Chains A and B, each alone.
Chain A
Amino acid sequence: DIQMTQSPASLSASVGDRVSITCRASQTIGNYLSWYQQKSGKAPELLIYGASSRQSGVPSRFSGSVSGTDFTLTITSLQPDDIATYYCHQSYTAPCTFGQGTKLEI
């Protein structure tokens, strides 16, 4: 099975900061990596699919990138509304797997 190692587990930053969250796949998954934002008590929401394509309606401060098996979610100019837990998810092959999550605090 493909393992997704997500880091950091938690992150504290200030409004206006640039933050990055990384997921490393245990083997090649192409660009079949998506990122989700989950606010407390809510369902996850899709931010990025195909490693770097922004979902419709997602603010442009969210971006995704890939280098080999390393995937990065970057939030530029952090906003108070960005307080959430973020997850990566590989859908290249079953069993699909999520990263462990990154709790972002401001």
Chain B
Amino acid sequence: EVHLVESGGGLFQPGGSLRLSCGASGFTVNSYYMAWVRQPPGKGLEWVSSAYGSGTTSYANSVKGRFTISTDIPKNTLYLHMRSLRADDTAVYFCARGIQDSGGYDLGLDSWGQGILVTVSS
């Protein structure tokens, strides 16, 4: 059974940094693409970043240069390194597993973690 568990959230100061972790079980993270999606309180979903087994990564414009996505294959874990935190980074952060078609195009996110709250406030 596929299982994703996020950790590392909490209350952080503006300008600070943190690392979110997403432990995976039931599959290997380098066999799928992995993504982070966030949801500010009371608002909609926002894609943050994706990582592929090839090593390719992509980011939303709002986090480019501040956030870094990575994977640890032996630990089967996805990370999101977040720095230069801003108040508008406050959100529940979900990690998700992606599925692709035979051409390597992304089809969607078929498994999600329960989410972890990150609050940026002084």
Contact = CB atoms under 8 A, between A and B. Distances in A.
Contacts of B109: 34, 36, 44, 46, 89
Contacts of A49: 99, 107-108, 110
Interface string A53-67: 101000000000000
B61 A95 contact: yes
Interface stretch (B23-31, B80-88, B111-119): B111-119
A69 interface: no
A96 B47 contact: yes
B114 A43 contact: yes
A89 B47 contact: yes
A34 B107 contact: yes
A71 to B, nearest CB: 13
B74 interface: no
